[in-house]
Amino acid sequence: MKKFLLIMTCHMLNLLSLTAQDKVQIIAHRGYWQSRGSAQNSIAALEGANRIRVYGSEFDVQMTVDNVLVVNHDGSIKGININRSPYSVLKDSTLTNGEKIPTLREYLEAAKHTDIRLIFELKPSDTPERTREAVRLSVEMVREKKLMHRTEFITFGLDAGKELIRLVPDAAVYYLSGDLSPKELKNLGFAGLDYNYNVMRKHPEWFKQAKALGLAINVWTVNDLTLMREMIDAGADFITTDIPNDALIFVSSKLSAN
């Protein structure tokens, strides 16, 4: 009987371990901005993502002409081109919830009071030289705030990705553009691919290839639960979504059903 109970206990522990390994993680796209009083890429959206306990909160970083890093998705805000304007011109611009556009410094300071992952998307600047400078300043600031252990980097720019890998070889850096195979990403030193679901539908073989190479798989931006099920069943490790709360409930119910 004791031997039987020991075998059953080990079996249950193995099942629990497999469940934990197989659970897909949810990333809030530009934070949990659909919550009341929030806005995309706002500090409120970051705090909201932390409140609902997602894996991470994604945010976008741009650099002004005088080398100030700000958090905003679009290249312009209120008609002001971020890359070609000094910070003094856009510093009073507000998001839809009334927050002023946050600097990266302000955003990371707020992030110190959270405990989720920071999914740092660096937007390429106007030139390769400016992009490399944005990478350098970004890495310096994350290190200054002592948040490197919770920060993962993503970028559409291959040059930016290579520079991030060079400067922080131990960090997780993911590529977004969807034009490189898992083998090519592995050879360049990326931790994984972070591709749109249409790319992964076009190349379903990349799921198995990435797994075989030890690369992580993130799929964006998945806002439909049927599509979410498709990507999870195909082997996605992470789902980036604008509906993180619904996604968390969906993933929990899927695990319960299994």
Q: What DSSP string runs through 97-114?
A: TSPBPPBHHHHHHHHTT-
Q: What domain range includes position 74? A: 25-257
pLDDT beneath 70: ranges in the chain: 1-22, 256-258
In a domain? residue 2: no
In a domain? residue 16: no
Provide the pairing of β-strand 69-71 with 56-63. antiparallel
In a domain? residue 10: no
Q: What DSSP string runs through 141-162?
A: HHHHTT-GGGEEEEES-HHHHH
In a domain? residue 11: no
- The count of domains in the chain is 1
Q: Are 250 and 258 in contact (CB under 8 A)?
A: no
Which pLDDT score, from 0 to 100, does residue 254 have? 73
Round to whole Å and give the CA distance between 182 and 186: 6
In a domain? residue 1: no
In a domain? residue 177: yes
Round to whole Å and give the CA distance between 218 and 226: 17
Provide the pairing of β-strand 69-71 with 25-28. unpaired
What are the residues facing 14 on neighbouring strands? none
Question: pLDDT tens digits, residue range 133-167?
Answer: 999 999 999 999 999 999 999 999 999 999 999 99
Residue 159: is it exposed, middle or buried by C-beta count within 10 angstroms (0-12/13-18/19+)?
A: middle
In a domain? residue 247: yes
Provide the CATH number for the domain around residue 157: 3.20.20.190
Which token pair is 174?
Answer: 């993911």
**Cα–Cα–Cα angle for 41, 74, 150, rounded to 5 degrees:** 40
In a domain? residue 20: no
